[in-house]
Structure 1
Amino acid sequence: MTSGADFYSQLMDEDEEDVRIPTFTSDGLWPLRGRTPGFYRLATICLGALCVILLMTIIAVAAQSEIKPEGGAAVSLERQKQTQEANVSVLMDTIHTLQQEKEELLLKLSVKTPTRAPERKTAPPVVCPTEWHLFNNSCYLISTLSKTWSRSQGFCQNQGGHLAIIHTAEEQTFLWNLLPRGHWNSYWFGITDGETENEWKWVDGRPVVGGFWEVGEPNNHINEDCGYIVKTEVLTRVPIRSWYDAPCLMQLPFICEKEPNASASTGAPVDGSL
C-alpha cells in the first residue's frame, strides 16, 4: 500500500505537470500534449460568456433600432401638428384682418357715397295742342279772332287757360316774335286796372311789377283799363317797349296761355260770337 505521504507527493507532481508552461510547436499552435480538462472548461466558460455578451449586445442594438424610429416618428408627428396649428393660427389672423379692412372700406364708402334717391319715372314729354307754342312749360296761342278784353279772357278760359301773363323779358320777346308785323297789329294780354285806376293786376289777381310799357304808357287817355301788345312795320321797335293801355271794349285779337296738356272746359262757345 502506498502511504499518505507518497499519495500527497504524487498529487503534487501531477499538479505541477498541469500548470507547467506549454511550448509551441513548430507550426505556431498550442501543443495538444499537456492540455488538461481544466483548461478546456475555462475556455468554454469564456467563450460562452463572450457569446452571451454578444447576444445581449445584438438584442440591445435591435431594440434600440426599433424604438428610435418610433420615437422619431412621434416627434415628427408632434412637430407637424404644431406647424399646422401655427399655420392655422396665422391664417385665422389674416382672415380676421381682411374682414376688418373690408368693414372699414365699406364704412368709408357709405360715408362718401350719398344715398341715391329712388329714380323717378321719366315724365311724359310736354306737348302743346295744334297751333299752340311751347315756352318754359307753358303753351301760347296767337288768336286770329277779335274780341273785347273780357270775352278774350273767356275764350282762353274755355280752352283751359287765360290771357297771357308775362313776367320776364325772355317770355315777352318770345311772344312778340310770334306776332306778325303790320300797320298797327295789337293783341290783348292778361293785365287790367279796371278795379282801381293805375293799379294794374294780372288776371290771376297778382299785381303787375315793372312791365314792358312803351315810353309814356300807360296814360289812360280815354278810360283805358286794359293792356295790349303792339307790333308794327317799324323795325326800330323793340319787344320790351311794346305795351299800351286801351279801352277794354275794343275788338282785338289776343294771346292765350295754358299749362301743357290742359284740357278745354265745356259749355262755353269758342267761336267768334263771344
Structure 2
Amino acid sequence: MKMVYQGEDRVYGNVPHASARSEDRKVAAAEAGIKQYRLAVVILGILCVIQAAVIIFLLHSLLSERRESKRTNFDVEAGFNNLTEERDDLKMKLNNLAQGRWEYFSGSFYHISSIEKPWQGSRDDCLEKGADLVIINSKEEEDFIRKFQKVMWIGLTDSETEGTWKWVDGTPLNESYWATNEPNGRETENCGNTFHYAMENSLNDSPCYISHSWVCERKVCPFLSIKTHQTEN
C-alpha cells in the first residue's frame, strides 16, 4: 500500500499546479497587449509623419501660390503701365503726324511730297522724317496711293541685282502691281514709281536720277493694318 501511494505521489507531483497555469496565461496576455500597444504606437507614428508631410506640402503650395499671385499682379501692373506709356506716346505721334500733313490709312501714315527729287534723295527725306518710301503690301494700299493722281517714287528698286526687285526693307517683291509691259527699262531703269496712276495697276520703272514727287510711309499700328486687311477680305 505504501508503494502505491508513493507512485501516486510521483504521478501527482509532475502535474502543474492550477495557480501556475493561471499565472502563465496572464503573462502571455500581457505580452500580447504590449505587442498590440507597440503596433498602435508605430501606426500612430506613421500617421503623424504622413500628417506632417501633408501639412508641409499644403503650406509650400500656399506660399508658392502667394508668390505667383504677387508676381502676376506685378506683371499685370507693369504691363498696364507700359500700355499707358505706349498709348500716350502714340497719341503724341498721331498729333504730330496730323499737323505735318500726313494722311492715315490702315495702320500707317503717308506723306506726299510737294517737291521733286531723285529716288535716293526722296528716300533720304523720308528717313529724316522717321519713315521710309512706301512699301505696297496690298491692292487696297496700291489703290490708296493711286488716288493722289501723281507720279511718285515708291520704296522699290532692283539696283543691287538687275531684275530682282526688292522693297526698301529688303523683302522681295512677291505680289506686284506693274502696269502692262512693265518693268521694261532693264539696267537703265532701276527704281519704281506710280507713273501709270490712272490705270488699275500703276507701277513703273524709271531711271533713279529723274526727279519725281514721292510718298513716305510711317507705320504706327502694324497689327491694325493686318486686322483691317483681313476684315476687308
TM-score normalised by L of structure 2: 0.53
Matched, 1:256 2:195: no
1:200 matched residue in structure 2:
165
Query: How many Å separate the matches in 2 of 1:191 and 1:231?
Result: 15
CA distance in 1 between partners of 2:156 and 2:195 (Å): 14
Counterpart for residue 151 of structure 1: 121
C-alpha distance in 1 between matches for 2:186 and 2:118:
18
Q: Which amino acid counterpart does residue 218 of structure 2 have in structure 1?
A: K
Give the Cα–Cα distance (whole angstroms) in 1 for the partners of residues 163 and 140 of structure 2.
Answer: 25
| Pairs within 5 Å for 1:49-64 | none
Give the paired residue count: 135
Partner of 1:139: 109
Shift of 1:260: 3.9
1:221, CA displacement in angstroms? Answer: 5.6
Residue 182 (structure 2) aligns with = 217
- Closer, same or farther: CA 205–211 of 1 in aligned 2, 3 Å: same
CA distance in 1, matches of 2:192, 2:164: 12
Measure how far apart 1:215 and its partner are: 1.0
Give 1:12's aligned residue. none
Distance 1:200 1:231 in 2: 18
* Cα deviations by residue, 1:213-243 (Å, 9 ceiling, x for unpaired): 00110011671000000256x6xx22xx100
Matches within 5 A, 1:72-221: 120=80, 121=83, 123-124=87-88, 125=91, 127=94, 128-129=97-98, 130-177=100-147, 179-180=148-149, 185-220=150-185
More helix by share: 2
- The one-letter code matched in structure 2 to 1:139 is F
Residues 162-199 of structure 1: per-residue CA shift (max 9 Å, x gap): 1101111111111211x13xxxx411000000111110
Distance 2:155 2:108 in 1: 15
Distance 2:161 2:187 in 1: 15
Residues 220-239 of structure 1: matches in 2 within 5 Å? 220=185, 223-230=188-195, 237-238=199-200
Which whole-Å deviations, capped at 9, do the CAs of 1:140-183 have from their partners, x for residues lacking one?
A: 00111100001101010011111101111111111211x13xxx
SS at match of 2:194: strand
> Equivalents in 1 of 2:210, 2:202: separation in Å?
18
The answer to whether 1:245 aligns with 2:205 is yes
CA spacing shift, 1:229–1:203, aligned 2, 3 Å: same
- Counterpart-to-counterpart distance in 1, 2:187 and 2:165: 16
Once the two structures are superposed, residues 119-147 of structure 1 have per-residue CA deviations (whole angstroms, 9 ceiling, x without a partner) of 94563447134210111221100111100
RMSD: 2.4
- The alpha-carbon distance between structure 1 residues 138 and 148, as it changes in their structure 2 partners (threshold 3 A), is same
Normalised by the size of structure 1, how large is the TM-score? 0.45
Q: How does 1:18-29 map to 2 (within 5 A)?
A: none
Distance 1:153 1:206 in 2: 16
Identity across matched positions, percent: 33
Compared CA separation, residues 198 and 222, structure 1 to 2 (3 A)? closer
Provide the C-alpha distance between the structure 1 equivalents of 2:108 and 2:140, rounded to a whole number of angstroms: 13
- Cα separation, 2, equivalents of 1:249 and 1:201: 18
Q: Which amino acid letter does the alignment assign opposite residue 128 of structure 2?
A: N
